[in-house]
Amino acid sequence: MSCIFCDVAEGRTSARIIREADDLVAFYDINAQAPVHILVIPKRHIPTINDVKADDAVLIGKMVLLAREIMEEQGYDRKGYRLVMNCNNDGGQTVYHLHLHALAGRWMSWPPG
């Protein structure tokens, strides 16, 4: 089964990659919802947060830390930013390969629409 984010992770499709680690890739979202909109994905195909196992806890922690590091590098740590993981239909998930959104550069309303 084809997966667009596996294609990004394996270099089969172009993406504006910011960082690559052994097990993670961070790149810019093609349809930015904020002045800065980054996605952090595991290289391994995990469809949704529902599929995450206890053994993946370190991987999920690394995703958060990488997003934080990029937000710091780009100067958003003090002003703030939002990290979001959507799950399934009601959560607004459209790509079924786990990803963490990092959004910055504008005020994020709460609650989300």
List the single partner that 59 binds among ligand AMP, Zn ion, none, CB under 5 to 8 Å by kind. Answer: none
**45 touches Zn ion by CB under 5 A:** yes
Cα dihedral sign, 67-69-71-77: positive
CB of 71 to Zn ion, least distance (A): 24
The whole-angstrom distance between residue 53's C-alpha and the CA centroid of its chain comes to 18
Instruction: Determine the Cα–Cα distance for residues 29 and 24; give it in Å rounded to an integer.
Output: 15
Q: Which does 30 bind (CB under 5 to 8 A by kind): Zn ion, ligand AMP, none?
A: ligand AMP
Which sign does the torsion angle of CA 49, 50, 51, 54 carry?
A: positive
Minimum distance between the CB of residue 78 and ligand AMP, rounded to whole angstroms? Answer: 25
99 noted as active-site residue: yes
Active site residues: 99
